[in-house]
Structure 1
Amino acid sequence: MLEGVPSAVDGFGEWFVDLHVHIGRTLRGRPVKMAASAAMTLLAVLEEATQRKGLDVIGIVDAACTGVLEEVQELVDTGVLRPHSGGGLIFRDRTLLLTGAEIEVAGPEGGAAHFGVWLPGLGELREFSAWLAQRVTNPSLSSQRIRADAIELQEECRRLGGLFIIHHAFTPHKGLYGNCVAHMADMVDPDEVDAVELGLSADTDMADRISELQSFAFVSDSDAHSTGRIAREYNRFRIREPSFEEIRLALHSRDGRAVTGNYGLDPSLGKYHRTACPRCGTVASDPPPVTTCPVCGNSQVVMGVLDRLTQVADLDEPRHPPGRPPYVRQVPLSFIPGLGPKRRSALLKAFGSEMGVLHRASREALAEVVGEGLADLVIRAREGRLALRTGGGGRYGGVVV
């Protein structure tokens, strides 16, 4: 909620950003993202991001859908959202909303990938929504497959002054590397890519084994389909203030702006981290890449992100370019055993937001609210000292106590 504190010396601050959140239904009950919770309305998402999560910037990837676009305009008309001179919309004078769309594009040789297009203002969003409506089956629904290739999509994004992000790049379903091609240029124009989203089952060490990604910013976003999942992955940006143009500068490390931190799940918690067998349920533990089930021999497996990335990587070890920020592996509060809704609410009340719990609360202060045992688990989660069960095949990993 605009919590970053600008430096008195250089005018920069550090701000928390989640660029990939979905809408399940409009306030009038019309579906938007079919897989998202019906409770994920535009206002509910904005309130959750501001009040409970403590985000400074939130990106709604369904804003170009006709029903959501109508609601954005209504909130602007009533003063709940206010246009920012640098692009984006300010919610209740506290949190910056970035509006965009997630679009599915068929791969050149099969498969499909998701891409995010972000627009600086309502005028550009309306233009993009109208352009998109001529190329999808149902413009009221999110993540529709477009009747165009990725290059044409990038050209329209550039014409409108937008940002183009490769979503969950390595996942076996709808990921550019995971589902379509081994090299970015085989599907998109790399010069028109503003960032690469790691996805829940990958981190910087994994992605930086692909040398062609050296020049791209990495973002770690939640891809939230329910309010509780907002900010399960997020970023820290060094910018002067939250705005669309400041985010653009940070993604390209210009004029002192930068992405200074990626916060995300330990990749082993991601539901597609390792290859998994849908026949017998085995999640691979052998060295990657595993392409057939080691137990029943089934070749129709769900390829894991680590396994696929091992196939396409051209480096044995990660090679981080200068300025690559750290990837901070953490376990969201909702993953911690014994920390149910009642106790999470008590923590949020005591420390203001999930950011406050995860980044600022001391062990002693946590223990006063939830007791010694749970306080210890929160600190161990913060420090990456929890034992984890690996996820795969669409099932999340978990914490082993």
Structure 2
Amino acid sequence: MVELREYVADLHIHIGRTRLGAAVKITAASSLTLKSIIQYASNVKGVNFIGVIDCHVVEVMNEIEEDIKLGKALQLEEGGIAYQGVTLLLGSEIELYDENCQGPIHILAFMPTLKSMSEFSLWMAKRMKNPTLSSQRIYENAQVLQRKVRELGGLFIPAHAFTPFKSLYGKGVRESLTEVFDPKLIDAIELGLSSDTNMADQIKEIHQYPYLTNSDAHSLEKIAREYQIIKLREPSFHEIQLALKKKDGRKIMANYGLNPLLGKYYQTICARCATQTTLAVCPACGANSKIKGVSDRLMELASVTSKQIDRPPYVHQVPLEFIPKLGKKTLEKLRNHFGTDMNIIHHVEESQLRQVVPEAIAASIIAARYGKLSIKAGGGGLMGK
């Protein structure tokens, strides 16, 4: 019988700069290099499996190839790149626009090997203006893109599917993913920071897909603000494929994500003054322009009011940097005493925490563990608190 283990996975992490200093994700921190991501995810966050979604960039692929030649990394037979302490899944985030889209849609494409990612990169380079950057727009029929990903043995996943901008249900389609995509060629749905399982399951057509909860990290500290625990034989591309299909005991055990109230786009707000309102005219400033929140958009799309779906639990988890009065120096002290964030968040007893940090902070960490912290909703690009 194959022995299965549980792994912490965050499959949406951006590279800010290459090792030579070239920009990749313009809005990401320059400290987000491939090397720093691997070290921080493993040593500080306690993540076992990362998806770096800018691996189509040639300079990034070159760095990985050099690491393999130097013995710092190993390309696994079942897909993925094994570094010390963490396995890298080769991904790319793409801004898709075809004639059937109402607005651009971000998707994640993961490839098993450097060879397949290189092929995919060359294919995309003919369809985008700047293949050295992250999340670049391609003008291509969505189903052509889906078939290309499948031809190369990859995974196709709509990213942060409900956010107001550049997402499948935000502005990408009016009502159904079938307006753009072949539903048979979608492997999973990424929920994004402003939704959770219960909210997403209001849409019947996505009941057939597993849900992913990832950080979409634009800085090192944001790694693993959302993640999942997955049961696998080993952290590899093929094992992830099996887990998404719930085959041979492989599966997602639990999704850990922000309470949607903490997300940037949970509630609808006035685009001018940020007042929470769903009225046509803002009562505070008189503007008639709004940023529609995920909660209101999902109400528009809702097709079911009750569900009987076998899903892993969705745990509302608060990252340590969100904990009230937990500053950088105190967080460093916690990490020095207890190791990784995963250990602090999930395992360290309150009595142990009190030996290192003030009682109020220790109590807040435990309250966050059990979903008992009070939340102020976010919206319009501002995180909740």
TM range (shorter): over 0.9
Q: Does 1:72 align with 2:64?
A: yes
Query: Contact (CA 8 Å) 1:86, 1:245: kept in 2 or not?
Result: yes
Deviation of 1:295 after TM superposition, in Å, equals 3.9
For 1:320 and 1:143, locate their aligned partners in 2 and report how far apart those are by CA, in whole Å. 36
For 1:375, the aligned partner's letter is: A
Q: Does 1:114 align with 2:106?
A: yes
Q: Does 1:368 align with 2:368?
A: no
- Look up the SS of the partner of 1:24 in the other structure: coil
Matches within 5 A, 1:228-247: 228-247=221-240
Q: Does 1:186 align with 2:186?
A: no
Counterpart position of 2:315: 328
Deviation of 1:297 after TM superposition, in Å, equals 4.8
For 1:307, the aligned partner's letter is: D
- Look up the SS of the partner of 1:347 in the other structure: helix
Counterpart position of 1:205: 198
CA displacement 1:76-107 (0-9 Å, x = unmatched): 22121111121101112x21100110001125
The CA RMSD over aligned residues, in Å, is: 1.4
Query: Contact (CA 8 Å) 2:194, 2:264: kept in 1 or not?
Result: yes
* TM superposition score normalised by structure 1: 0.93
Match of 1:174 among 142, 166, 170: 166
Query: Contact (CA 8 Å) 1:208, 1:320: kept in 2 or not?
Result: no
Matches within 5 A, 1:155-304: 155-181=147-173, 182-284=175-277, 293-304=282-293
Deviation of 1:308 after TM superposition, in Å, equals 0.6
Deviation of 1:292 after TM superposition, in Å, equals 5.5
Counterpart position of 2:299: 310
CA displacement 1:91-142 (0-9 Å, x = unmatched): 12x2110011000112524311100000001111111111111111001001
Counterpart position of 1:22: 14
For 1:105 and 1:143, locate their aligned partners in 2 and report how far apart those are by CA, in whole Å. 9
* TM superposition score normalised by structure 2: 0.97
For 2:54 and 2:199, locate their aligned partners in 1 and report how far apart those are by CA, in whole Å. 29
Deviation of 1:316 after TM superposition, in Å, equals 2.7
Counterpart position of 2:92: 101
Match of 1:386 among 352, 370, 373: 373
For 2:162 and 2:69, locate their aligned partners in 1 and report how far apart those are by CA, in whole Å. 40
Which runs of 5 or more residues in structure 2 are unaligned?
Answer: none
Counterpart position of 1:54: 46
Query: Contact (CA 8 Å) 1:283, 1:393: kept in 2 or not?
Result: no
For 1:337, the aligned partner's letter is: P
Aligned identity (percent) is: 44
- Look up the SS of the partner of 1:328 in the other structure: strand
For 2:76 and 2:302, locate their aligned partners in 1 and report how far apart those are by CA, in whole Å. 41
For 1:378 and 1:60, locate their aligned partners in 2 and report how far apart those are by CA, in whole Å. 29
CA displacement 1:262-311 (0-9 Å, x = unmatched): 00001000001111112122124xxxx76654544533111101111111
Q: Does 1:357 align with 2:344?
A: yes
Query: Contact (CA 8 Å) 2:165, 2:171: kept in 1 or not?
Result: yes
Q: Does 1:31 align with 2:11?
A: no
Counterpart position of 1:12: 4
Match of 1:341 among 317, 328, 340: 328
For 2:88, the aligned partner's letter is: L
Specify whether residues 139 and 36 from structure 1 end up closer, same or farther in structure 2 by C-alpha distance, changes over 3 A only. Answer: same
Deviation of 1:10 after TM superposition, in Å, equals 5.3
Query: Contact (CA 8 Å) 2:101, 2:180: kept in 1 or not?
Result: no
For 1:109 and 1:330, locate their aligned partners in 2 and report how far apart those are by CA, in whole Å. 33
Bigger shift: residues 103-112 or 303-312: 103-112
For 1:373 and 1:51, locate their aligned partners in 2 and report how far apart those are by CA, in whole Å. 27
Query: Contact (CA 8 Å) 1:19, 1:59: kept in 2 or not?
Result: yes
Query: Contact (CA 8 Å) 1:23, 1:42: kept in 2 or not?
Result: yes
Bigger shift: residues 70-79 or 290-299: 290-299
- Look up the SS of the partner of 1:387 in the other structure: coil
Query: Contact (CA 8 Å) 1:168, 1:197: kept in 2 or not?
Result: yes
Bigger shift: residues 80-89 or 224-233: 80-89
For 1:99, the aligned partner's letter is: L
For 1:206, the aligned partner's letter is: M
CA displacement 1:131-180 (0-9 Å, x = unmatched): 11111100100100012121111111011100111100000011100111
For 2:108, the aligned partner's letter is: G
- Look up the SS of the partner of 2:356 in the other structure: helix
- Look up the SS of the partner of 2:92 in the other structure: strand
Query: Contact (CA 8 Å) 1:14, 1:239: kept in 2 or not?
Result: yes
Which runs of 5 or more residues in structure 1 are unaligned?
Answer: 1-8
